[in-house]
Structure 1
Amino acid sequence: MLKDFSLQSLFMGLLTAFVGFASSFAVVLQGLKGVGATDFEAASGLMALSVSVGICAIVLSAKTRLPISIAWSTPGGALLATTGVIEGGFSAAVGAFIICSVLIIIAGLFRPLGRAVASIPTPLANAMLAGVIIGLCFAPIKAIGFNPALGLPIILAWIIVGAFKRLFAVPAALAAFVLVMIFGVDIPADALDSIAQSLAPPMEFVMPVFNLQALISIALPLFIVTMASQNIPGIAVLKVNNYDPQPGQLFATTGLFSLLAAPFGGHAVNLAAITAAMCAGEDAHPDPKRRYWAVIVSGVGYVIFGLLAGVVTAFVALAPPILIQAVAGLALVGAFSGSAVAAFKDPETREAAAITFLITASGLSFGGISGAFWGLIGGGLMMALTSFVKRMKS
């Protein structure tokens, strides 16, 4: 393996880890807190996810010699942020994470379930994702309304840097957030001591609680968005770059690492979709057989970032919540626009997708079950009715 290592892969791996962590850790923290996690439990979840992502990436890429990038479920984090605290609190959410992990493993090992997930109409899956994300995408504008002096620098950094290099837009917004915190927010004198005390890796075991509301409100929607928005596109990115992995084995492995992270607050580990293109393309190395080293390096980077999750969370906790929500929202703008275009592209399914989007985006729960689940049900019923009427007419 050492003969395949290169400086080009080293650079791309480090860049991938930085972009992957910096661009969406805010979404993870917001999501975990959204379902009832304390600051320390959220830090533990972030650490568990980052370390699991890193080790999973190293294991899979070293074993297969393929650039199989791994990430946490960013859409899943956005879903959690809009779900709210359910009966049983964060313990019930952790129970749902475990169920989701088991479903991912089964989807990898039991082909009919994997095919069933893949057969969910793409417009509806994208409409649900767009509905889940849109709430956080409003946060940057709300941040300006909260305090223009604090919100505008973050958004302007994202816009200006993104105009030149979209890949660095969110890291630039994160850098602006740090500067705003240093120069614009009144940080208590003892805050640095608190951050220094957070150098030890945070780890909090959460005893899971299992109930029906958690299953339907969190586990099933999280499983669907993780498979439809991360795992399946992750396989597609690899195939576009002329790699032909075994999807079932990869899904099952990510499900296993999700299961390991869940008791410590991690929601889902999965194949990367966006950063996957960085390690699978020519920028990682001209020789396709040597690109797997970029993923191995990125895995090491994720592990290091994970061990520093306590410091990251302690620093973020000092900020007005709307500012970290703004960074999270900017990180999801691309995902929202892509999912919205895909959801409403086909005129025949546009109304069904609109129903899914509107129910999901409403944020309302019926019978204690989140809108994401009902959005899929409503859109599916509309699609079935439209198909039935068309057959009747013909």
Structure 2
Amino acid sequence: MDSGQGSFNRRQDADDLTDYVNNGWLSSNEFEGPTFLWNHMIREASREGSDQRNDVPVANLSDADTVINMPMQWYFDALASMVPTAERTDTGVEIPRIDMPTFSLDSQALSGVDAVVGNAVASTRWLDAVGNLAEAVEMTARFVGNVADRDNEGFDYLKDLIQTVRVYMDAVACNADPMTGEQALRMITQVACNEDFRLNAMQMVELLSCGLSFAQWDDTRMFAYDALNKGIATMSDFASSASMLSNSADDSNSRDIQTDSQPVAQAKTDLSLFEDDDSLSAEDLNNLAMLDPALLSEKEIAQAAQNQFDHAVQFLRHDLLRISGDIDEADRFLRDNHTSEPLADAYAARLIASERWQDLLNFVDLVLRDKPNQVTMMFPEEVVPYEWETIREAALEALGRRDELIAMYQERLDDTYDPNTALNHLKLQAWQD
């Protein structure tokens, strides 16, 4: 269409979105759609590492524990000699975190972990190796939780370690017999569900996602679902236990107040001042937990952890469906959970890839109806400058809905602060001609 300034593509947004979806993360030829936790590079790394794995023994578990623990203990002993507020106890050294120097990998406190992991991943004695890897992850998580990791060096190390475990577990899934694979995955799942990971939902789910490597085959798929269910049950029990403890404490406080000289009615009135604390939204709890967990009660911390887990585990649920071959169910899961930004983006990508433009238009309406201010997370700003409105625009372009597009561009031009005035003029003119 000639706009007076050369040829103007009236389907530019639809073409740009289609190109991005078909050539980026949102496209996957492996499982007919995007995955969140599974990455083809895990399988590639697993295969590339096969040349370095041999049928050689690994350190026994007690020796591995000693090798990992010694540098960690040396680190804390060194801190104890430097920090005036450090106190030695029967179980080790207690140091206020605020007085600790910032942890650095250069301290070599995790050198024992490196040694044990390097020894394990070079062996095809799957169960012995996975046992040591599980021990390494557990002890590293506990160590990182007890140091002043202000620069996140320890946290980043733990994330890399979990990825190493995922690659090795993929090798287990591909090469070990099903019974061995089940036992190995159970060991990793047990670590994922211990107390060190209950407040770190994403790392917990990353460990549970070791099961995705088993989901690709009929005879091992159930192992992955067992791991998922174990994680869900663990977090549910954790939140329930914290709630019961909190309620017991509330009952005790209530009895203490009622035995005082003031009337019971007055005690109830005073207690009502604190009822708003229990009605914090999931978003408020998560924000406070990220700002400073000390601002929350144990019950609220557990609830925030549960909320974060519920969000993160959606990615695992989806990937299990897609990798298992339940493509329609995976797509339905994305659509049903459209108030989650990544899941909504992924479903939009599925519709764009298949050029189901009317369905895409209906989906945009659904998203903005249920969450009017929802943003996109998986599309870059240059592709969707108006967020979901750009996706709506692309669908309207593909469907040739002239009147609606003209109204859209006119509305943008009426907005004094719209940064794309010249472009919207071109678009308006192109559709008016």
- Greater relative contact order (Cα < 8 A, sep 6+): 1
TM-score (norm 2): 0.18
For normalisation by structure 1, the TM-score amounts to 0.20
Q: Which has the higher helix share?
A: 1
